[in-house]
């Protein structure tokens, strides 16, 4: 096993443990919980869209439900991208402030 792969797996394990709800509850306010709930809702919408598309390809879903699920996933991704852009913009504005 290459050393880089081991380091990557170890780093991933450390990062994954910091994202657990128990770890965040001890660190921060309720805003952190709301952010994680929004992130999980977005991931759920994308996963539902993927599952519905797979069901459609195997003949288990109708076209209307596929369009509906993919539209919800698209809206969730666009919302997350907009929020990310606003956070980056606010951070850049803070960096421009004189100290």
Supply the pLDDT for residue 1.
Answer: 43
Evaluate if residue 98 carries a pLDDT over 70. yes
- Domain range summary for the chain, segments of one domain joined by +: 29-96
Residue 77 pLDDT class (50, 70, 90 cuts):
very high
15-65 pLDDT tens trace? 555 555 555 455 556 778 888 888 888 899 999 999 999 999 998 888 999
Phi then psi dihedrals of residue 66, to 5 deg: -65, -45
* Helix 63-96 and helix 30-57, axial crossing angle in degrees, nearest 10: 150
Q: Confidence band (pLDDT; 50, 70, 90) for 88? A: very high
Query: Does residue 81 register a pLDDT over 90?
Result: yes
Which 8-state DSSP code applies to residue 1? Answer: -
């Amino acid at each position: 096993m290459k050393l880089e792969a081991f380091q990557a797996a170890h780093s991933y394990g450390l990062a994954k443990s910091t994202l657990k709800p128990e770890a965040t509850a001890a660190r921060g306010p309720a805003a952190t919980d709301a952010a994680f709930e929004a992130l999980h809702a977005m991931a759920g919408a994308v996963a539902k869209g993927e599952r519905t598309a797979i069901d459609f390809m195997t003949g288990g879903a109708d076209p209307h439900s596929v369009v509906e699920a993919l539209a919800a996933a698209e809206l969730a991704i666009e919302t997350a991208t907009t929020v990310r852009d606003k956070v980056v913009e606010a951070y850049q504005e803070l960096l421009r402030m004189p100290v």
